[in-house]
Amino acid sequence: MAIFSNQATLTYNGNSTNSNIAYGEILDVLEVTKTAVEGAYTPGALVTYVVTLRNTGNATLNNLTVTDDLGGYDFNGTTVYPLTYESNSVILFVDGVPQATPAVTAGPPLVVSGISIPGNSDAVLVYQARVNNYADPTTEGVINNTVTVTGDGLSAPATATETVDAATAPLLTISKSITPTQVVDNDRVTYTFVIQNSGNEAVVATDNAAITDLFDPILTSLAVTFEGTAWTQGVQYNYNEATGLFTTVPGQIVVPAATYTQDPVTGEYTVTPGIATLVVTGTI
């Protein structure tokens, strides 16, 4: 919607007088909304966007172009983009009917062109973008993402913005190694479990994290440490020497959150995972 105004001037015999100011209103014929399907983002994950274009007029809107800024923001005088368009993900519907894929320029920014919408009809554009290393992964992270629509029959560009916050959660992986790798009966072996947290939130006791393993061959005379501190069977872990089943007591595994560093030159974020180590030694 745009307001315009106009005033006339009357001159006569060297005199002049102004008319009243007349106001008018140009109604927007195109309504645009943008929604992210996912409520939050994590590094490397896909975000699905749904852009709805509603033609409220009677005439067809032709040659519309949708430009998505992919969350671009200024960093040291350069625009960096926290989202990367996922190739071949664009789908277009008009009044619920699938259409031929429009022309796509991946960018950044992403440009989708050649869209037409009949009068009193809706077009829905669906596409995905992947979160990259320019997205802030901290608990304060946010991606502000705007689409701008231009084309025939529009008096001014139409825009819509969606905001997605960084997910606040742990993100764990676990690896296991054995030393030595070649043993004979009655040798002592050590299993080392390394838990890494790439998320922006620590794993605490109330998260009830636990490790379960079935040692084969079965171990005897276990010695267990977590982060260098000795653990006691029945307190921090349980072990069945008849079956080889080893379990940690839920809540005993805690892992610090990751730390993040933004490169002062490029603007890319690097992740240093939080790490916790469990060591189990026993006799084969």
User: What is the domain-level CATH number for residue 81?
Assistant: 2.60.40.740
**Which of 144, 166, 188 is a domain's end point?**
166
Same domain? 212 vs 89: no
Confidence of residue 3 (pLDDT cuts 50, 70, 90): low
Domain count, the chain: 2
Q: State residue 20's pLDDT score.
A: 85
Residue 29 has phi, psi (to 5 degrees) of -90, -15
Same domain? 23 vs 149: yes
For residues 44 and 241, what is the distance between their CA atoms, to the nearest angstrom? Answer: 42
Instruction: Inform me whether the pLDDT recorded for 26 exceeds 80.
Output: no
Same domain? 135 vs 216: no
Residues 114/125, Cβ–Cβ less than 8 Å: no
Who wins on pLDDT, 11 or 238? 238
Who wins on pLDDT, 104 or 1? 104
Same domain? 160 vs 23: yes
Confidence of residue 131 (pLDDT cuts 50, 70, 90): very high
Instruction: Inform me whether the pLDDT recorded for 28 exceeds 70.
Output: no
How distant, in Å, are the alpha carbons of 148, 210, 220, 247 from that of 278?
Answer: 52, 11, 17, 12
Same domain? 52 vs 95: yes
Instruction: Inform me whether the pLDDT recorded for 149 exceeds 80.
Output: yes
Q: Which tokens belong to 150?
A: 């231009």
Domain hosting residue 26, numbered range: 2-166
**Which of 109, 142, 166 is a domain's end point?**
166
Please state the rounded mean pLDDT for residues 103-119.
97
Q: State residue 13's pLDDT score.
A: 82
**Which of 149, 166, 183 is a domain's end point?**
166
Kindly report, residue by residue over 29-82, the tens digit of the pLDDT: 899 999 999 999 999 999 999 999 999 999 999 999 999 999 999 999 999 999
Averaged pLDDT score across all residues of the chain? 94
Same domain? 40 vs 136: yes
Same domain? 95 vs 224: no
